[in-house]
Structure 1
Amino acid sequence: MRRFFSLMAAAALCACSSADPGIAPVNPAASPEARQLLQFLYSIRGEYTLAGQHNFISDPARYDRVVYEITGKRPVVWGCDLSFNALGENIRDYHHCGPMNLTAPWGECRTTGRTTEELRQGLVEEIRARHAEGRIITLMWHCCFPSECNDCNGASIWTWQNRPSDTVWNELTTDGTPLNQQWKAQMDTVIPYLVQLRDARIPVLWRPYHEMNGVWFWWCNRPGENGFKKLWIMTYDYLTRVHGLDNLLWVWNTNAPRDTPGDEAGPYADYFPGPEYVDVLAADVYHRDYKPSHHDELRALAQGKLIALGEVGQLPDPAAYWDQPDWSWFMVWGYFINGQQTDDLDSAAAVRRIYDDPRTLTLDEIDFSDGSYRLRR
């Protein structure tokens, strides 16, 4: 059955044209490599889901190795974080997200002694190697509030009830203000590394400011026209129209809606910047909260665009996996790969169950021999 689906999907890929408006990137100047990656993702939609794994910038192969040790297979989607340096006496509170200046979680929390520039350049080199293997690269950014650039107490990012006031938000999103200039300066610290990836012809699934419909990050909980939507469009314009980062595919990455008191995540639609600024709509799912509505409501909002699981804690059970067929990929968050046990399976067996599922594509099933993504025949 898998071979039959593979041949059908490969045929669909060959039939695709970069001029097809149904699969054109939102950036009209998108690179050929970005266009081909997007075409490939459309070609497998509804038939397959790509396995993915997040890694941390201070040890970018660690959890990739864990997946291989468990399954004997490698994920297709390789994820990482441009990250920040955690300052203060509470750095352990933020070890879970992998600050640059700390060793990768979990394990002993120590400082790395490496500079921001060394770490980000190392990330570029790691991405070059992974891309050459046929991996699909996805990048995100836990970023400090712009006035603090790359070095901050983690509470600058996880602000909860201390998010920016309306006045501060308006200054941030108004071109030319002092805070807006600081935001551009912060962006300018990562642009050179994204430029290197562009010049190396490496497409990136780019998912900045993730989980914006939650209540935890400084960029969260700003619905409406002048809220998160304005920040997203500002970011898109600065990276594509000002800096020509045409290798980026724009992944708008929400959290699955929830009504947990003090930890809420609002409706997808309240934070959507519009189809003209988004290539893929993604949701983050933790605690095995794979409600059909999380998939179906995102698919409805997407209006034909791709959807994905940007981050997951626990992998879905087989029933949810098959009942929610349009997830283009899943990406397990780092160390969560070691905590997949269920009522009937230990952690390693639960991972193997999904990796061995006929819906799941792993690296051995991808042909990247000519620099284009396709299913291996």
Structure 2
Amino acid sequence: MKRLIIAWTTALLLYGCSPERPVVAPVNPEASPEACQLLEFLHLLRGKYTLAGQHNFISDLSRYDSVVYAITGKRPAVWGSDFSFNALGENIAEYHHCGPMNLSSPWGECLLNGRSTEELRQNLVEEIKQRYAEGRIITLMWHCCFPSECNDCNGASIWTWQNRPSDEVWAELTTDGTPLNTLWKKQMDTVIPYLKQLRDAGIPILWRPYHEMNGVWFWWCNKPGENGFKKLWIMTYNYFTKEHGLNNLLWVWNTNAPRDKQGDEAGPYADYYPGSDYVDILAADVYHRDYKQSHHDDLRALAGDKLIALGEVGQLPDPDSYHNQPDWSWFMVWGYFINSQKTDSLTSEEAVRQIYNDPRTLTLDEIELSDGKYRLR
């Protein structure tokens, strides 16, 4: 049984979300008690434990959670999903890797499932309510089309690569009241009602919009500087919190681990950071077992007193990297990658069990949720 023997633990977990500001305050001064307490719980684990997490696609909400259980006999503590988009055109299979909501499977047959956006997103809300009742920590993100196309687009509207918005288009997008900015608000309004349902149910969300912004692939990528991505992030934060009162959200700024691969670069973290007033947790995505120590340490330095996490991973870290990078608050394996963990010395299933059985890893059976408060068992 894993416990942190710290004198103030009980008081922090039981009373940290009183009407007064908590010990570790979210950036939103109106954050819900549940969001406050979740953030404090994560701070309590910092440097000692890492929560296991798994992404599940909106069209098949339990598939990869079940794979983890079949391999390990354990459930991930962090449950993730995506508000997603409907893929249009003749090349929809090219975008199966992110799980477009209108496909029957995020990998494999890639057949249209005939389900509506509203049905899929409402099912996501109901699934989250069930997972939260089990004691899960919930994280959500959104592969979103360019705002003028709302929820239905060719995948190339999201993965734009060299065809990213011009500076003029970006300025229109991020200037309040322009035609494109108005379309952006209408797009945001298609997911806000679902987040409000979760707010009204008292469910805190680790919310990580516009991930991997320091890369060169999404339409929101590669816009450094004060008038670049930072402006979009702050605009989004203000619209969700100040305009719509989504006080159950903890804001996870989720980069890609920097890399210099030509044509597939990811720039330095700091060039895209919107500032500590708008971010609760800093995260990085790591694929291809690229667990450089600098990916952890540079993000740790930028974060200061804030938490860091592995927002998405392809392959799980090797044991040495895992223990040399102790401040990752959670990792979340991206969907089907849970089936692709083979190393030179381990089968895929052995590699999964190796991390899940590590004393540092926390799974669902090792945390509990009662009265809206997370605790270690």
The two structures have a TM-score, normalised by structure 1, of 0.97
The answer to whether the Cα contact below 8 Å between 1:13 and 1:39 also exists between their aligned partners in 2 is no
Distance in 2, matches of 1:202 and 1:140, equals: 15
Give unmatched runs, 5+ long, in structure 1: none
CA pair 13-262 structure 1, distance change in 2 beyond 3 A: farther
Question: CA-to-partner distance for each residue in 1:142-184, whole Å, 9 max, x for gaps?
Answer: 0000000000000000000000001100000000000000000
Residues of 1 paired with 2:230 and 2:142: CA distance?
17
**Residue 213 of structure 1 corresponds to which residue in structure 2?**
214
CA distance in 2, matches of 1:9, 1:156: 50
One-letter identity of the residue aligned with 2:217: W
Counterpart position of 1:336: 337
RMSD over aligned CA atoms reads: 1.2
Runs of 4+ in 1 over 4 A off after TM superposition: 18-22
Corresponding residue of 2:95: 94
Q: Distance in 1 between matches of 2:225 and 2:369?
A: 41
Q: Aligned pair 1:274/2:269, yes or no?
A: no
- Aligned match of 2:239: 238
Q: Conserved in 2, the CA contact under 8 Å of 1:366 and 1:375?
A: yes
Equivalent residue, structure 2, for 1:183: 184
The residue type paired with residue 317 of structure 1 is D
2:79 match: secondary structure: strand
Q: Distance in 2 between matches of 1:231 and 1:52?
A: 28
CA distance, structure 2, for counterparts of residue 68 and residue 87 of structure 1: 34
User: Structure 1 residues 237 and 71, CA, compared in 2 at 3 Å: closer, same or farther?
Assistant: same
Q: 1:30 to 1:201 in 2, by over 3 A?
A: same
2:258 is the alignment partner of 1:257: yes
- Post-superposition offset of 1:306: 0.2
1:105: how far off? 1.9
SS in 1 for 2:310: strand
When residues 21 and 304 of structure 1 are mapped into structure 2, their CA distance, relative to the original with a 3 A threshold, is farther
The number of aligned residues is 373
Q: Is residue 337–residue 351 contact of structure 1 (8 Å, CA) maintained in 2?
A: yes
Task: Give the equivalent residue in structure 1 for 2:226.
Answer: 225
Determine helix, strand or coil for the equivalent of 1:250: strand
Cα distance in 1 between the residues matched to 2:31 and 2:117:
29
Alignment deviations for residues 187-246 of structure 1 (CA, whole Å, 9 cap, x no partner): 000000000000000000000000000000000000000000000000000000000000
Deviations 1:273-309 (A, max 9, x none): 0000000000000000000000000000001100000
Is contact 2:55-2:333 (8 Å) kept? yes
1:370 to partner: Cα distance: 2.9
CA contact (8 A) 1:10 1:43 kept: no
Identity %: 78
5+ residue gaps in structure 2? Answer: none
The aligned counterpart of 2:324 is: 323
Give the TM-score normalised by the residue count of structure 2.
0.97
The answer for the alignment partner of 1:306 in structure 2 is 307
Does residue 174 (structure 1) correspond to residue 175 (structure 2)? The answer is yes
CA distance in 2, matches of 1:222, 1:176: 21
